[in-house]
Amino acid sequence: MGNYKSRPNQTCTDEWKKKVSESYGAVVERLEDDLCIKDNELLELKHVFSSDEAFSKVNMNYRTKNGLSLLHLCCICDGTKAHVRTLMLKGLRPSRLTRNGFTALHLAAFKDNTELVTALLHGGADIQQVGYGALTALHIATIAANNETVNILLQHGAFVNVQDAVFFTPLHIATYYGHEQVTRLLLKFGADANVSGEVGDRPLHLACAKGYPNIVKLLLTEACKTDVNAQDNEDHSPLHFSCRFGHCEIVRYLLQGNFDVHPHAVNIYGDTPLHLACYNGKLDVASELIRLSGTESLTKENIFSETSFHSSCTYGKDLELVKFLISQNAMSINHQGRDGHTDGAYVSVPSPLGKIKNMTKEKADVLLLRAELPSHFHLQLSDIEFHEIIGSGSFGKVYKGRCRNKIVAIK
């Protein structure tokens, strides 16, 4: 009765982006774990870095349980550039990783300690060294939105387009988190806005999905040469994402600007941007799309044999959206998809157990009949006592029950 039943709630790209989000969350947790030192140990270490005498007597091979050397600890416990210089002259390697996978430069970048970042770089720390997740210090500073540190790293030659384990550049990360000032800096130093992440996602895809209009505008400046119609591995354009998540301001900017956006492009599922707006009940976006790009998308069917009108009925998220699409008069309300189903295949009502069942038009007719019956023929759920399951019927399972002191079958 229609392939719509097998449509997944999430695409492969959705699943991957969820893992990406979780991975960056894990990065921050690991960094914070390295910064977390027991109070008594922290007091002792701060004393070491505040007293020349104590510092001169400290064991250079000292390590914490997380594998932090004195060079790492200098970046956490109020050390100075003089301490960094001394420790490196005494042979402490700036390339040493903590058990969580970070160098002293990573930690200084995360803490936004520009003095120590500069001292480490002048002492020979490798600005391109990767740690956990193939992250460089520039990635870390970008995650933390540390503008000054980002600037220093770029001025000292950090690769602006370096990719981490999920093939995200610092620009991907800045747009993902909505760090506007960091985005400006990265673009100023020549960040490539057309580099693809693991699933073909560009920074513009991320900004459009997250809803950051100012970053979208930065990416679409002429100097960036951003491909406004770039497709990810599932052929989603940036417009697809802004429509799906209901970012009307971005949709309007993309379509009203001189960007040659393709408003009727389809992804691998055959979805136009209008389909995605309708699946997700985004009335404002749907109306803007039609106003600015016409009605061509209204008659397009995806691989599930669904038009945008079908899509608006599939999850029933916005009745006003359904009414709006009907008002466009672009197609019949009874239009059949390639597999034969119509909008009536999506009518849903509560079953006796409160579940939502998909109904055909024939079943909807039962509801119309009920509406015509006198009220004393109507029942409420509170009038019915459910017992065991005794079979199944066209509405689903059939229950034995009691109503008005009589044994009845309920379906």
Based on the fold, state whether residues 280 and 336 are members of the same structural domain. Answer: yes
Question: Does any domain span residue 267?
Answer: yes
Based on the fold, state whether residues 315 and 242 are members of the same structural domain. Answer: yes
Question: Does any domain span residue 211?
Answer: no
**Segment 310-322, tens digit of pLDDT:** 888 876 678 899 8
Based on the fold, state whether residues 318 and 384 are members of the same structural domain. Answer: no
From 317, 341, 365, the end of a domain falls on 341
Question: Does any domain span residue 258?
Answer: yes
**Segment 35-63, tens digit of pLDDT:** 999 888 889 999 999 998 898 989 999 99
**CB neighbour list of residue 33: distance below 8 Å, 6 or more residues apart:** 66, 100
From 312, 341, 370, the end of a domain falls on 341
Instruction: Provide the domain limits for residue 253.
Output: 236-341
Q: What is the CA radius of gyration of the chain?
A: 30
Based on the fold, state whether residues 294 and 253 are members of the same structural domain. Answer: yes
Based on the fold, state whether residues 251 and 280 are members of the same structural domain. Answer: yes
Residue 371 has pLDDT above 90, yes or no: no
Question: Does any domain span residue 300?
Answer: yes
Based on the fold, state whether residues 377 and 304 are members of the same structural domain. Answer: no
Query: Total structural domains in the chain?
Result: 2
411 is in an annotated binding site: yes
Based on the fold, state whether residues 242 and 330 are members of the same structural domain. Answer: yes
Token readout for 151 is: 């600037």
Cα separations (Å) of 352 from 38, 61, 215, 314? 57, 71, 49, 21
Based on the fold, state whether residues 240 and 337 are members of the same structural domain. Answer: yes
Most confident region among 2-11, 107-116, 393-402 by mean pLDDT: 107-116
Residue type, 328: Q
Yes or no: say if 45 and 70 are a contact pair by the CB < 8 Å rule: no
Q: Where are the beta strands (DSSP E) in 160-224?
A: none
**Segment 164-221, tens digit of pLDDT:** 999 999 999 999 999 999 999 999 999 999 999 999 999 999 999 999 999 999 999 9
Question: Does any domain span residue 309?
Answer: yes
Question: Does any domain span residue 293?
Answer: yes
Question: Does any domain span residue 60?
Answer: no
Based on the fold, state whether residues 334 and 372 are members of the same structural domain. Answer: no
Based on the fold, state whether residues 301 and 374 are members of the same structural domain. Answer: no
Instruction: Give the pLDDT confidence score for residue 343 in this predicted structure.
Output: 52
Question: Does any domain span residue 86?
Answer: no
Based on the fold, state whether residues 392 and 328 are members of the same structural domain. Answer: no
From 285, 312, 341, the end of a domain falls on 341
Report helix, strand or coil for 131: coil
**Segment 247-306, tens digit of pLDDT:** 999 999 999 989 999 999 999 999 999 999 999 999 999 999 999 999 999 999 999 889
For residue 286, give the CATH number of its domain.
Answer: 1.25.40.20
Report helix, strand or coil for 394: coil
Based on the fold, state whether residues 334 and 363 are members of the same structural domain. Answer: no
Quick one: average pLDDT of 71-89? 94
